[in-house]
Structures are given as C-alpha cells and as structure tokens.
Amino acid sequence: MLVLILLLTIVSCSTPPKTYIVKKATITESVYASGNIESMNQYQIFSTVNGTIDSIYATEGQRIKKGQRILRISNEVSQLSLENSELQMNFNRFENNKNKLKELQHSIEVAASKYKIDSTQFQKNKVLFENDIITSIELNNSELLYNNSKSTYYNLKMQLEDVRKQLQLNDQLSKTSYSQSKKNNSDYILKSEVNGELFTLLKKKGELVTPQTLLGVMGNHSEFKLKLQIDEYDIVKIKLGQQITVKLDSYKGTVFQAKVTKIIPYMNERSKTFTIEGSFVNPPPILYPNLTFEATILIHKKQNALVLPRELLSQEQFVTDKEGKKHFVKIGLKDYNSVEILSGISENTALIYPNEN
C-alpha cells in the first residue's frame, strides 16, 4: 500500500499543469436579450361599445383591406336613436320649413302697405290740422295709426330674421345630431385599420362584448419586426443600427441577422427592462406573430486583442504564469467565454489554470 501511494505521488508530481499561450484574436462584446416577433402595424381589436356580436364578416388568416368590415355588434337602443335623429333631421330641414318664412313675408308685405297708407294719411292730416280743417284729436288718431303700423312692420321684419336664423339653427343642430348618431352607430361595425391579415378572432357570434373585451389581433401579413427586452444595466450600451444576431426556436440551427431600429425610452418598472425593436436584414421565409427568439446585440468588436479564456482568471483580476507567479491584469471587453487583457501580461505568455496551480 505504501509503495502504491508513493507511485501515485510521483506520477502526480511529474504531470505538468495545463498551460495556455496568450495570443491575439478578435473579441466582441454583446448584450444578450430575448423577445418575440410582432407584425408591422399589429394591433389588438377592441370595441368602443357594449353589445352582442350580430355578424362576423372575416375569418382567421384572411387577408383584409383597410376599412373592410370584421364584425358587427348589435344594439337596439343605438339603432332607434339613429332612426329618431334621422326623422328629426328631415323634419327640421330648412327647405322643408320655408313656408313659415313665406307666411311671414306675406304679413310683412301687408304691414308695409298699411304702413305706407298710414304714413301718407298722417302727413296729410298734419297739413289739414295746420289749416284748421281737422281737430287735434283726428291728428293724434292718425299719428297713432301711423306709429302702430310702423311698429308692426319693423317687428315683423325682425321676426322674419329671427325665424330664419332659428330654422337654420334647427336644421344644423339636427344634422349634427344625426351625424353623431350615425357615427355612434358606426362604432358597432368594426373595420380593419390596416391592410393586413386577421391573425386571430377570439369571439363568436352571439357573445356579449364590452370595451374591455379583446376581440382579435390584426397586422401586416408580410412584414415583421423584432421586439427585444433589454435589462436596465445594458440599455445605455444600445444604439440605433447595431447588429443583432437572432436564433429562432422555429428555425433551429439557423442564425439570422437584424439591426436595431428603435429604442423605446421607457422602463417597465415591474420587469426592470426596456423594449427595443429591430428589423431583419434577410428575414426567414415564414414568420408568425409571437414567435420567440434569443438574440445577441453586438456592442463592440475588436481585432488583434490579447484574449484569454475567462476561466484563466482568478478573482476576475489575476492570472498565473507557468512558474506560478501571479499577475494583476486590466480587463477590457468580455463575452461569455473570453476576456480581453489590456495590460499586465504580453503575447505568448504561458499561463496555467487557477484550479491546477
């Protein structure tokens, strides 16, 4: 047994430690992120009103043009309101109420004629009075008739303008009320806001919906974007135009290239992440909304740098050469496997791994 232990000790002492020769290579710094695919112009379909789905005009997966109907919600109160406002509008149309103006115009013409006669008679009576042909009572009576006919004439003219304005106002108010009722009624017909595809429809005919009910999802069927979640510690490193390497679960073994196109400057307080968007340089042949992916965003790339495997570091700042001497090193770029050395050792230095020292 003693001989065996001695042999093992001799063999162990004679086995040289594993070494690594420092060399120059290319190193990159990247930010890692996950995310999902989203269609361009994608939006969730909600109703702005309460009601029951009366008709469905589109199916899931159907290509739909902007303005094309998707579904209709039934509401009898809204329909009755529209019908009533239409009746009121027709009743109050200015053209339909011109007879009121004609009647007043005729009354004005009669009043104008009487006003003219009474005015002439009053002027004559003033001359007759001055010549002592009539009494002052007769003069006063003719003046009273003149003033009354004058007042009636001008009052009727003012009344004509007031009625005209009121009829015009009633006409306009009724048209506005009808337009509002028609718009409210149109809210019960949901139409596509984009040219695209109805990805999903979550409700069926006869189901009750409210403004809080998600009815479906629409979006562009041929153009997609990436939405990535970035940790708050990394967001300051992200810039527009940076290269993104994408790995989709649906395309295992294939790597796609993309670039950063948008940085949304608002942090989700719950997840402590920011959202950024990217676009494919050469997109996959088939994509669907909500496909998941893993991505790396290239922050820096440096060639001819002194590069070590990260496991050669001890305490993230020391390396050990083959003679067992420790060296303090200054660290530059890092990735998951490698680290750049800025100072502390030189190229071709032979290092040993800490756990083998």
197 lies in the same domain as 71: yes
113-146, pLDDT tens digit by residue?
A: 999 999 999 999 998 888 888 888 988 999 999 9
Question: Can you give the pLDDT at residue 55?
Answer: 92
Question: Can you give the pLDDT at residue 309?
Answer: 87
Residues in the chain with pLDDT values less than 70:
1-16, 78-79, 184, 336, 355-357
Question: Can you give the pLDDT at residue 15?
Answer: 60
291 lies in the same domain as 165: no
35 lies in the same domain as 65: no
DSSP bridge pairs for 37: 226
Question: Can you give the pLDDT at residue 11?
Answer: 46
Note whether residue 11 is domain-resident. Answer: no
Note whether residue 321 is domain-resident. Answer: yes
Note whether residue 88 is domain-resident. Answer: no
CATH number at residue 347: 2.40.420.20
Question: Can you give the pLDDT at residue 74?
Answer: 83
CA–CA separation, 191 vs 172, rounded Å?
A: 29
195 lies in the same domain as 69: yes
283 lies in the same domain as 206: no
341 lies in the same domain as 285: no
102 lies in the same domain as 237: no
CATH number at residue 234: 2.40.30.170
* Domain finish residue from 164, 185, 206: 185
Note whether residue 82 is domain-resident. Answer: no
Note whether residue 109 is domain-resident. Answer: yes
Residue 280, number of CB atoms within 10 A of its CB: 18
Note whether residue 8 is domain-resident. Answer: no
194 lies in the same domain as 63: yes
Q: Is the pTM of this model over 0.85?
A: no
Question: Can you give the pLDDT at residue 85?
Answer: 84
Within its chain, how far is the Cα of 341 from the centroid?
A: 47
273 lies in the same domain as 317: no
22 lies in the same domain as 56: no
Question: Can you give the pLDDT at residue 357?
Answer: 44
Note whether residue 339 is domain-resident. Answer: yes
Domain range enclosing 225 = 30-41+219-301
Total domain count for the chain? 4
* Domain finish residue from 301, 327, 347: 301
Note whether residue 124 is domain-resident. Answer: yes
Question: Can you give the pLDDT at residue 149?
Answer: 92
Question: Can you give the pLDDT at residue 33?
Answer: 93
201 lies in the same domain as 148: no
270 lies in the same domain as 293: yes
